[in-house]
Amino acid sequence: TGTMKINAKNHLEIGGVDTVDLVQKYGTPVYVYDIARVKEQADKFKKTFKQKNVKAQVAYASKAFSSLALYQILAKEDVSLDVVSGGELYTAIQAGFPSQRIHFHGNNKSESEIEAALDYQIGCFVVDNFYELEMLDRLSREREQMINVLIRVTPGVEAHTHEYISTGQVDSKFGFDLNSGQAQKALQSIAGMPYIELLGLHSHIGSQIFETEGFTMAIETLLKQAKQWQEDFGFELKVLNLGGGFGIRYIPEDEPLAIEEHTTAIIESVESSIKELQLSMPEIWIEPGRSLVGDAGVTLYQIGSQKKIPDVRQYLAVDGGMADNIRPALYDAKYTGILANRANDATEETYSIAGKACESGDMLIWDLPLPKAESKDILAIFSTGAYGYAMASNYNRIPRPPVVFVENGKDFLAIKRETYADMLRLDQSINAE
């Protein structure tokens, strides 16, 4: 994908930069991002909406991966931003991201997070529950400050995805329930909130979605509901936000839809439903996370110890693992990889790739065909750009790896490698005053 290729030295090259050189410069493990790929993915969403003349906002879901430099790049890409915490909001503001293009998510935003967002005058709150709505009403009156909101609803659609990461079904901690009348009550109560401007509805049906049906079902449900509410109490749907969840390829068997296909299906479904229901066309907002950064990211590790259990398995250990990629352990997520320093060598062995953390569950890949590997070989694991660094931890007091952006033959250190001293910065010694 993107600008990744095998160069004349038989090395994996990304963004015109040899990964073996990157390892020499930055050490391992290291996360590498193909920035041209991130931009390319964002462009596909934006272009499809533009070609179809649909007013839209593409809001990058920060939780997939955030950093000052990424936010600065995205600010220029003319995308919006979905943040889910005071920390993501703070990072975006520090990066100089235009606050009017920031949307604030979360099922338990604190008062201080909301106040910060109000101070920065962000573009929109995606309201999740009555507790939040009442807080927004009170704070907006106190400040005499207008607030734009979307109401998040659970449309009862469950996309075909891993159970742990489904959020669109009825039994979910997120959003207002449609069927029991919660959502309607929320919308009607906004009529009495002088500083709250209701833009429309939000739903997110899940992650790593490979079909269009889930989105189509959610669209039909939401638009039908919107029509009913229009007739009942004059509700006007200006914005329909369909969340994120567009799937990517982790392993060769994954067959994700092209971004253009997903986007086109969404547009056509909205257009046909509004025609049928005689509604006016809302703006369509989406919140892709994984599909913008996921397959742009590669993690480079150095191979260390090996263990061969005759007739059972060969383990190959790398200098990272669940501390920098929790997804295999947490979701049973699958990845693939190659030896970056001997990229085209014939695969003659099957290895299971172990991390260095002290638990058996710290396995990154089971049964990966590779050339016969030696210590100091470099293993590149693909599609680690989403929810890799973002979910990294210091488990076992392992420092977090650096993040390097590559583009047009140049590399840029976006996040430095954590040091042992960094990990101690919050620790208090008993002997300290």
Provide the annotated binding site for pyridoxal 5'-phosphate.
Answer: 245, 287-290, 387
* Long-range CB contacts (within 8 A, 24+) of 367-372: 368/336, 368/337, 370/316, 370/337, 370/338, 370/339, 371/339, 371/342, 371/345, 371/346, 371/347, 372/348
Binding mask 277-316 for ligand LLP (x = CB under 6 A): ----------xxxxx-------------------------
Position among 86, 123, 156, 243 found at the interface with ligand LLP (CB under 6 A): 243
Does residue 102 belong to the site contacting ligand LLP (CB under 6 A)? no
Q: Please answer whether residues 176 and 226 qualify as being in contact, where contact means their C-beta atoms are separated by less than 8 angstroms.
A: no
Q: Report cis status (omega within 30 of 0) of the bond before 29.
A: yes
Q: Give the shortest CB-26-to-ligand LLP separation in angstroms.
A: 24
**Residue 317 or 386 with smaller CB distance to ligand LLP:** 386
Position among 71, 215, 246, 389 found at the interface with ligand LLP (CB under 6 A): 246
**Residue 69 or 165 with smaller CB distance to ligand LLP:** 165
DSSP conformation class of 123: S
Does residue 207 belong to the site contacting ligand LLP (CB under 6 A)? yes
Position among 155, 245, 282, 355 found at the interface with ligand LLP (CB under 6 A): 245
Asked about 358 being catalytic, the answer comes back as yes
DSSP conformation class of 397: G
Q: Give the shortest CB-262-to-ligand LLP separation in angstroms.
A: 10
Q: What are phi and psi of 41, to 5 degrees?
A: -65, -45
What kind and span of H or E run contains 313?
A: strand 313-318
Position among 33, 49, 97, 387 found at the interface with ligand LLP (CB under 6 A): 387
Q: Please answer whether residues 245 and 209 qualify as being in contact, where contact means their C-beta atoms are separated by less than 8 angstroms.
A: yes
**Residue 20 or 124 with smaller CB distance to ligand LLP:** 124
Helix, strand, coil shares of the chain, percent, nearest 5, are 35, 25, 40
Stretch touching ligand LLP by CB under 6 A, among 20-28, 238-246, 275-283, 308-316:
238-246
- Structure token pair of residue 217: 């079902």
Residues sharing a CB contact under 8 Å with residue 432, sequence separation 6 or more, in sequence order: none
Does residue 168 belong to the site contacting ligand LLP (CB under 6 A)? no
Q: How many residues bind ligand LLP (CB under 6 A)?
A: 21
List contacts with ligand LLP (CB under 6 A): 61, 64, 82, 105, 165, 167, 204, 207, 243-246, 287-291, 327, 331, 386-387
Active site residues: 358
